[in-house]
């Protein structure tokens, strides 16, 4: 059996690119490793020669590369146009192209017009079948991966990507039960909070070359007591392994509620956390379906201060342009007086995103929201040292 060549491609993203650091020094920190492609490489059996191309490090000279037998492409919506260009190039050479990821899942009909095969959902459970069909020249038009069992997620092939990234990348959980109206996570990854075995996570951390790591989980700690207990066990295991890594993650605001959790996170290497505050008004949170942030009479400022006392940077995400927003987007109050978001005594670092209205037929999901993730536009980032 001759070796088959597999080329996995992360198309260039017009929003971020390491090769455009002259435009903004922050571009280097906005590029994430294409972890999904690295995981698929880890699932690919012997008999395949695998290469991963991340165009955000610079587009390669495709004509000079060995001709692949199969091309796999992943894409967010911001990458879709470039993904179609790459697919067209290889299809004209007679190379079959399979595309997956969140854009392919949410915009299936559009994508099927531009590639030979589409994988919807999480690909781990279906990838071996895709490869076997490709080997025999019998690719199906569509494969549905559904939701993967986390025990089946292999270590990602970190060795297949070149150096140059600011962060390595690791995933420990998938899914979110909160089902906020603006967010695609529950639609794509399901409402069940699924966790990888802790020993698998620790071993993968050890395989990451970079000192700094982005934990890509949409919510590293979860929302229930058993989720929190697992997060503590994970932090203990990472600390005990003495990995000498520093990492940042995404979490819900309940990260601030448990002093032991915070202390263990720091001991494990946590240096920053991205929290979706979304809106600091109850009316805004209700409009967005982020009821979790309304529980227990939550005081955002006090929660942020508790996290900061452990020397963990807090980056806050806010969505502006809601129907209930007042002029000036007054989201914080100091001494009873309205204060615009970002002027709240540097309580948090701020990332502002504006809702972009679209028709309900433009994206799938249980809510058919008027506002969807692909319409979000970063307006401003405000770090403790000043805005950029």
Would you state the pLDDT for residue 380? 36
According to CATH, the superfamily of the domain at 4-144 is Cobalamin-binding domain (3.40.50.280)
The yes-or-no verdict on residue 363 having pLDDT over 60 is no
Q: What is the Cα–Cα distance from 212 to 95, expressed in whole angstroms? A: 37
Q: With b meaning 16 or more CB within 10 Å and e meaning fewer, what string describes 16-46?
A: bbbbeeeeeeebbbbbbbbbbbbbbbbbbee
Return the H-helix or E-strand segment holding 276.
strand 270-278
| Residue 76 phi, psi (nearest 5) | -80, 170
**CB burial of residue 309 (10 Å; 0-12, 13-18, 19+):** exposed
Both tokens of 332, joined, read: 């914080």
Q: Residue 353: which of 262, 260, 278 has the closest Cα?
A: 278
Q: What is the Cα–Cα distance from 354 to 374, expressed in whole angstroms? A: 11
The yes-or-no verdict on residue 82 having pLDDT over 90 is yes
The yes-or-no verdict on residue 304 having pLDDT over 90 is yes
Would you state the pLDDT for residue 13? 85
Predicted confidence band at 8 (pLDDT cuts at 50, 70, 90)? very high
Predicted confidence band at 20 (pLDDT cuts at 50, 70, 90)? low
What average pLDDT does the structure give for the chain? 84
Q: What is the Cα–Cα distance from 189 to 218, expressed in whole angstroms? A: 10
How many other C-beta atoms are found inside a 10 Å radius of the C-beta of residue 328?
10
The DSSP 8-state label assigned to residue 55 in this structure reads G
Domain ranges for the chain? 4-144, 167-387
Q: What is the Cα–Cα distance from 146 to 124, expressed in whole angstroms? A: 9
For the domain spanning 167-387, the CATH number is 3.80.30
The average pLDDT across 367-380 equals 34
Would you state the pLDDT for residue 17? 56
How many other C-beta atoms are found inside a 10 Å radius of the C-beta of residue 254?
22
**CB burial of residue 48 (10 Å; 0-12, 13-18, 19+):** middle
The yes-or-no verdict on residue 28 having pLDDT over 80 is no
Predicted confidence band at 15 (pLDDT cuts at 50, 70, 90)? confident
């Amino acid at each position: 059996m001759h070796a088959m060549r597999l080329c996995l491609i992360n198309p260039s993203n017009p929003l971020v690119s390491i090769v455009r650091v002259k435009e903004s020094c922050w571009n280097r920190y906005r590029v994430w490793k294409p972890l999904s492609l690295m995981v698929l490489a880890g699932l690919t059996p012997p008999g395949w020669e695998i290469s991963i191309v991340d165009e955000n490090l610079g587009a390669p000279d495709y004509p000079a590369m060995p001709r692949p037998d199969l091309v796999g492409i992943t894409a967010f919506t911001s990458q879709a146009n470039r993904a179609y260009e790459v697919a067209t190039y290889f299809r004209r050479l007679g190379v079959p192209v399979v595309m997956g990821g969140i854009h392919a899942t949410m915009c299936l009909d559009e994508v099927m017009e531009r590639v030979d095969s589409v994988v919807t959902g999480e690909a781990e459970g279906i990838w071996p079948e895709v490869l076997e069909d490709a080997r025999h020249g019998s690719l199906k038009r569509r494969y549905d991966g559904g939701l993967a069992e986390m025990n089946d997620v292999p270590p990602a092939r970190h060795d297949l990507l070149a150096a140059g990234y600011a962060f390595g990348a690791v995933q420990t959980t998938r899914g979110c039960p909160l089902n906020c109206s603006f967010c695609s996570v529950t639609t794509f990854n399901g409402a069940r909070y699924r966790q990888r075995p802790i020993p698998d996570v620790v071993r993968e951390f050890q395989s990451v070359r970079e000192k700094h790591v982005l934990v890509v989980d949409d919510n590293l700690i979860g929302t229930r007591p058993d989720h929190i207990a697992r997060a503590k066990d994970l932090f203990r295991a990472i600390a005990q392994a003495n990995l000498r890594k520093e990492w940042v993650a995404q979490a819900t605001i309940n990260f601030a509620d448990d002093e032991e959790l915070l202390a263990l996170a720091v001991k494990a290497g946590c240096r920053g956390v991205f929290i979706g505050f979304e809106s600091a008004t109850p009316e805004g949170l209700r409009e967005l379906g982020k009821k979790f942030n309304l529980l227990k009479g939550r005081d955002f400022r006090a929660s942020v201060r508790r996290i900061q006392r452990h020397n963990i940077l807090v980056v806050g995400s806010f969505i502006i342009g809601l129907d209930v927003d007042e002029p000036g987007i007054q989201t914080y109050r100091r001494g009873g007086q309205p204060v615009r978001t970002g002027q709240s005594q540097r309580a948090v670092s701020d990332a502002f995103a504006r809702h972009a209205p679209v028709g309900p037929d433009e994206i799938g999901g249980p809510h058919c929201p008027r506002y969807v993730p692909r319409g979000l536009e970063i307006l401003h980032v405000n770090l403790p040292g000043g805005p950029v």
